Amino acid sequence: MFNRRNAVMGYIAWQGWKKVIKMKARGTVPSVDPKTKKPNRSAIALIVIGALTAATLKHKRSGDEPEPLDT
């Protein structure tokens, strides 16, 4: 059975888990090294991978068909 009490308890539990998940996600995000003031390697890798993915998706959406190869 689904009633108001269960709905309220589920809502409260969901709100609590969302906060926990957000805190864990913030902890895993690569950041800037405080000593050198440069981003760490994982942050640089994420930026490069994101740029390559964006370029690939943009190229696929542009509608340009590759020219057929002459054999």
pLDDT of 71 strictly over 60 = no
What does the mean pLDDT of the chain come to? 79
Residue ranges covered by each domain of the chain: 1-30, 32-61
Tokens at 24, concatenated: 């864990």
pLDDT at 69: 64
Do 42 and 31 form a contact (C-beta atoms < 8 A)? no
The pLDDT tens digits for 27-42 are 776 667 677 777 777 7
The pLDDT tens digits for 40-54 are 777 778 888 989 988
Q: pLDDT band at 10, cuts 50/70/90?
A: very high
